[in-house]
Amino acid sequence: MVSEATNTRKKSVLWDWLTTVDHKKIAILYLIAGTLFFVKAGLMAVLFRIQLIAPEMEFISGQTFNELVTMHGTLMLFLAVTPLFFAFANYVLPLQIGARDVAFPFVNALGFWLFLSGGILLSISWFFGGAPDAGWTSYVPLASREFGGIGIDFYVLGLQISGFGTLISAINFIVTIINMRAPGMTMMRLPLFCWTMLITSMLIVFAFTPLAAGLLLLMLDRVFDAQFFIPGEGGNVVLWQHIFWIFGHPEVYILVMPAFGIISEVVPAFSKKRLFGYTSMVFAVLIIGFLSFMVWMHHMFTVGVGPIANSVFAIATMTIAVPTGIKVFNWLFTMWGGKLRFTTAMHFAASFVPTFVLGGVTGVMLAMAPVDHLYHDTYFVVAHFHYIIVGGIVLGLLAGLFYWYPKMFGHKLNETLGIIFFWVFYIGFHLTFFIQHILGLIGMPRRVYTFLEGQGMDTMNFISTIGAFMMSVAIIILVINIIYSALKAERVTEKDPWDARTLEWSTNTPIPEYNFAQTPQVRSLDPLFYEKIHGNGEMKPAEPLDDIHMPNGSILPFIMSIGMFIGGFGFISFHMDLFISPYVLIAIGGITFFGGMAARSLQNDYGYNIEKETVESMEKELS
């Protein structure tokens, strides 16, 4: 049987990456793909900021502007930030809980390839009649067949496919965290990044599924002439908004929770103190996760859902400020009186706190239903959510990047370049977005592609665009840093370059495919730190050294994703003039996907064993 062959045969590098089910390699794949989408979406922002640099510019057309804004938002939220967090989660999470792998390595690979093929499907829309142009929320009737271009079909199917990938990855994380923790790692000793990824994954399970349903309805409307959102035939347009925001609000927390987690790892590590109020942090995360499903209608205050609904949802929204405040104070108390080391990672983590708070404050302002009529669809909203998204989420991501980089790649990023990067980025960020609060208050609407002279908006828009340029320069500095460090910086051979606290720092660098030769025995919260104080600084093993069982690689996830891609394209091509019928494409795609699934269930994948002797010699070589 094919699957029972062991991994001894040497494979080509490309084949190795296409078939890998190793969580560490999948993490790198996520990191690369997420970064590419991030840069792409960032360039789009720069393009439409150039359009807005001066009144009545004619740099791009209104149509292109709409497409760029839509793609910018969609790419950032679905294809840049989520995969970047998944990169860290995939890499770090099994290590932090002392596991050899994730629960479903095959599903993990499938999740990545589906995410990627959905993203590519969305991106090729430019070549087939235009990108989606109805905003990342794709409100009907703007997005209906009557008014929306073919790009919306790409939006629907691209998100459907990549969302499915995200969903199955989330299930994988949940099962991994619950079932695969090392002995002694109780839930109340779980590192906070694991906690936040657990809650994030649960939010994905409960939020991406309504989205999938909504996207399916929109697809049926657009492609098969269903009547869900067509008022004349009994349909209802506000229904879309409900479905979308039942997904959309938790989505914000899906993005920000892992950032909370990263900050809660980085701050204690560089304050040389245990996280203040661990238990309250855990409960705050749980409460925020729960509440995030209760507030979706604050996005619909101006639709006219009625005063009662508005009041209830306004109050529910403001309630979230309480657990969020708890978290902020806990981070501050962790730093208070600690031995602070201002590494680049710590710069990002510490600066996260004030910017995130500012985004939270404007959020409470927006939650006041009557006042929201003034702010609604102005740049004030744009400023608010970018303070959360960039000032919170992206800073968290960058903190994580600098923090875990040595574990992932075997060398640190250069600290001087890192700190220069930080300041350029941080100043650029405030220049871009702080001023947009004021722009919004004096009445600049969002999603308009130009503005008139003499309304007092010229200078502020100019400054905002300069800020966007600065952030681009910062990203270039980061790229230089990555290249420079790869060429120059010394290899980090020690296990624990930051003097950190959690289990991932107890592994060898580079990490062998089996992670831990012997599963560690966890004796406390911050297990590695505990052993530094109470033991000899090394984790005690929980089992004797023995053969290690590993899963086989497989090409099927890749093939199945291609099937999804072809099938998805088939659904879109109903409104195209192709040489091939959509039904044929759908059939090919379906057979490939379900065929791959069948092949997987017919094959017996018992994995392979790494002999005890091999493990011993590998361990000796590494230490």
Partner 1 sequence: MADSVDVKKGLPANPEKATLEGKNKFLGMFVFLAGETTMFATFFGTYLGLRSGTASGPEPADLFQLPLVFIMTMILLTSSLTSVLATYAMKKNQFGKLKLWMWVTFLLGVTFLSLEIYEFVEYYEHGLGYTSSAFASSFYTLVGLHGAHVLFGLGWILLLLLRNRSRGITLYNAPKFYAFALYWHFIDLVWVFIFTVVYLMGIGG
C-alpha to C-alpha distance for 503 and 92, rounded to whole angstroms: 9
Residue found by looking up tokens 């790692």 in the block: 185
User: Residue count at the site for partner 1 (CB under 8 A)?
Assistant: 46
User: How many Cα neighbours within 13 Å face the side chain of 464?
Assistant: 26
Contact 193, 92 (CB under 8 A): yes
141: cis peptide before it, omega within 30°? yes
Site for Cu ion in 245-304 (CB under 5 A): 249
Residue 468 binding: pick among partner 1, Cu ion, ligand HEM, none (C-beta 5-8 Å cut-off by kind): ligand HEM
Site for Cu ion in 222-251 (CB under 5 A): 249
Q: Which of 226, 207, 210, 209 is nearest to 218 (CA)?
A: 226
Stretch that binds partner 1, among 21-29, 208-216, 301-309, 429-437 (CB under 8 A): 208-216
Q: What tokens appear for 542 in the block?
A: 């929980």
Asked if 94 touches partner 1 (CB under 8 A), the answer is no
Q: Which is nearer to Cu ion, 249 or 411 (CB)?
A: 249
**Cβ count near 235 (within 10 Å):** 18
- Contact with ligand HEM (CB under 6 A) among 24, 51, 73, 248: 73
Residue 233 binding: pick among Cu ion, ligand HEM, partner 1, none (C-beta 5-8 Å cut-off by kind): partner 1
Q: Which is nearer to Cu ion, 76 or 345 (CB)?
A: 76
Q: Which is nearer to partner 1, 322 or 598 (CB)?
A: 598
Q: Which is nearer to partner 1, 95 or 102 (CB)?
A: 102
List CB contacts of 349: < 8 A, sequence separation 6 or more.
262, 263, 266, 267, 270, 395, 396, 399
Site for ligand HEM in 418-447 (CB under 6 A): 432, 446-447
Main-chain dihedrals φ then ψ at residue 524, nearest 5 degrees: -165, 170
List CB contacts of 219: < 8 A, sequence separation 6 or more.
153, 156, 157, 160, 571
- Contact with partner 1 (CB under 8 A) among 46, 57, 142, 171: 171
- Contact with ligand HEM (CB under 6 A) among 152, 246, 390, 460: 390
List CB contacts of 291: < 8 A, sequence separation 6 or more.
316, 319, 320, 323
Asked if 388 touches ligand HEM (CB under 6 A), the answer is no
CB of 188 to ligand HEM, least distance (A): 32
CB of 142 to partner 1, least distance (A): 19
C-alpha to C-alpha distance for 169 and 165, rounded to whole angstroms: 6
Q: Which is nearer to Cu ion, 242 or 249 (CB)?
A: 249
The CA-to-CA distance between both ends of the chain, in Å, stands at 37
Q: Which is nearer to partner 1, 1 or 487 (CB)?
A: 1
Contact 385, 437 (CB under 8 A): no
Asked if 37 touches ligand HEM (CB under 6 A), the answer is no
User: How many Cα neighbours within 13 Å face the side chain of 547?
Assistant: 7
Asked if 224 touches partner 1 (CB under 8 A), the answer is yes
Q: Which of 164, 154, 360 is nearest to 256 (CA)?
A: 360
- Contact with ligand HEM (CB under 6 A) among 26, 27, 76, 152: 76
Positions in the binding site for partner 1 (CB under 8 A):
103-104, 167, 171-172, 174-175, 178-180, 205-210, 212-214, 216-217, 220-221, 224-228, 230, 232-236, 239, 242-243, 246, 549, 594, 598, 601-602, 604, 606, 609
